[in-house]
Amino acid sequence: MSMPTTPPSGFRDFLPHTQAVRTKAVETVSRVYRSFGFNEIGTTCVEELKVLTGKAGTENEKLIFKILKRGEKLDLAQGTQELADLGLRFELTLSLARYYVRHESVLPHPFKVFNMGPVWRAERAQKGRYREFWQCDADVIGSDHWGCEVDVISAMTEAFLALGMGCPTVLLNDRTLISALLDSAGVPAEKRTEAMILLDKLDKLPEDKVLADLSALVGPEAAKTVKERVVSGGSDPESFKDLAPEAVARLSRILGMLRSSFGEADKFKLAPSLMRGLDYYTGPVFEFKFPGMAGSVGGGGRYDGLVGKFSGRPVPACGGSIGLERVMLILEERGEAAASGPDACVTVFAEELRERSLQAAAALRKAGLSADVYPGSRPLRDQFKYADHRKASFVLIIGPDEAAAGKVKVKDLKTGEERLEDAGNAAASVKSRLGPSAGT
């Protein structure tokens, strides 16, 4: 029986050109996060189930890929409900909270941190949603100042700009504001979380459907009041000042600073119905939107209570996450996700000339370029096909005549132009012809 070659549903293999684009995107986001002073860390992909459950309070906990106990422990667990003791992380924030408490004594305070990597959720796979996907997080732990939100949102916005996606629309709200609104509408405390979850669906489901469900949950009068304030109340923070003056003042400062920093006031907006799905958010929340993309491409918020569940004392924190898969969809749809190959492929004319080819490649790399020496012994026509398939920009040929004269033939695969260069000048010539971005 033949072995399957297709990955499981919701998991993917990546061809070289696709992986190259993904790697470049991750490197771009990392560079931007570093430029804002965020420290990079790494956390384990596997966590104790007690870390993953009971902390986030969301549907995501039901989607954990659980790992069975091993050996004797599994044998002893047979017939019980506790066959698993570990799980794959479904987000990065829980792991960060655990990490911070474990290593707090050696970390700077406040701690500006970024973390990237795969996460896993056992949900139904669909376009833009997979069971394995990457998140690119930036967080600030240890400060309750509103400048932390500005720092995180600014870094994420700059990352989108650096990826060539343009400035996103950034929607902001505050969980304390909506909690005060629900309170003023007469929604009982025990129903507010469910009401928030319903309101968060206003950008995903028909408004009539959401409001009907809300009316069934909290009653027609309360639902009418909520609709008037949330759905029809507009996007001016000052119109909500009577409900939560501190939250409104905080949102106004954040919005004002972001608008001033990026010079695009219409891109940063109050969205009174924005909740974010995770129950651990305690204050400002935000999402990043792009035209034509259903759902957000990133988001986050303040989670002042989460770290305390590990430390036993309050620790303020806020952060955000960029979804790499959504970023890739936008780049692909815009035709901006074409990966380039090496700057040059160096042919091997004959085995006795391989050393010359290796020397030419070393000179290219020393100049900051990428160079691929043909890994075999085939006729030049096959090596040219290889270079074309690799989408190389140039091909270098060193035959007996070139070697004897201390020359290198450099062919531009895009234009077909050939030049005979001195061996010591070939790398500089390639770099100059590639332009200012060569080697980046």
Same domain, 230 and 359: no
More confident residue, 264 or 13: 13
Torsion, Cα 94 96 102 104, to 10 degrees, reads -130
Q: Please say whether the beta carbons of 330 and 351 come within 8 A.
A: no
Q: Which among 333, 368, 391 is the end of a domain?
A: 333
pLDDT at 57 over 60: no
pLDDT at 58 over 70: no
Inter-CA distances, 397 with 304, 346, 432, 433, Å = 62, 6, 18, 17
Q: Please say whether the beta carbons of 289 and 297 come within 8 A.
A: yes
Inter-CA distances, 310 with 62, 78, 104, 283, 314, Å = 21, 30, 12, 20, 10
Cα–Cα distance for residue pair 234/289, rounded to 1 Å: 18
Average of pLDDT values for 50-59?
68
Average of pLDDT values for 125-152?
92
Answer yes or no: is 318 within a domain: yes
Residue-level pLDDT at 366: 95
Residue-level pLDDT at 202: 76
Answer yes or no: is 74 within a domain: yes
Answer yes or no: is 8 within a domain: no
Cα–Cα distance for residue pair 306/101, rounded to 1 Å: 11
Same domain, 145 and 101: yes
Residue-level pLDDT at 147: 96
Residue-level pLDDT at 210: 83
Tokens 């989108």 belong to which residue?
A: 160
CA torsion sign, 302 to 303 to 305 to 308?
negative
Same domain, 167 and 217: yes
pLDDT digits (tens, 9 = 90+) for 151-163: 999 999 999 999 9
Residue 428 domain boundaries: 344-434
Same domain, 318 and 382: no
Same domain, 260 and 188: yes
**Residue 259's closest CA among 156, 150, 166?**
150
pLDDT at 267 over 50: yes
Backbone angles phi, psi at 163, to 5 degrees: -80, -5
Domain count, the chain: 2
> What is the Cβ-side half-sphere exposure of residue 21, based on CA atoms within 13 angstroms?
20
Same domain, 272 and 323: yes
Q: In sequence order, which residues have a C-beta less than 8 Å from that of residue 108 and are 6 or more positions away?
A: 39
Helical residues (DSSP H) of 143-219, grouped into ranges: 147-162, 175-184, 189-199, 207-218
Same domain, 312 and 367: no
Same domain, 362 and 262: no
Strands 66-68 and 46-48: unpaired
More confident residue, 92 or 17: 92
Answer yes or no: is 2 within a domain: no
Q: Hey, which bits of 66-190 come out as E strands?
A: 66-68, 84-88, 111-120, 132-141, 169-174
Answer yes or no: is 3 within a domain: no
pLDDT at 391 over 50: yes
Same domain, 36 and 158: yes
pLDDT digits (tens, 9 = 90+) for 273-323: 888 866 788 999 999 999 888 789 999 999 999 999 999 999 999 999 999
CATH number at residue 308: 3.30.930.10
pLDDT digits (tens, 9 = 90+) for 350-360: 999 999 999 99
Q: Which among 304, 333, 362 is the end of a domain?
A: 333
Same domain, 235 and 281: yes
Average of pLDDT values for 372-396?
94
pLDDT digits (tens, 9 = 90+) for 140-149: 999 999 999 9
Same domain, 195 and 275: yes
More confident residue, 20 or 47: 47
Q: Which among 309, 333, 357 is the end of a domain?
A: 333
Same domain, 153 and 296: yes
CATH number at residue 418: 3.40.50.800
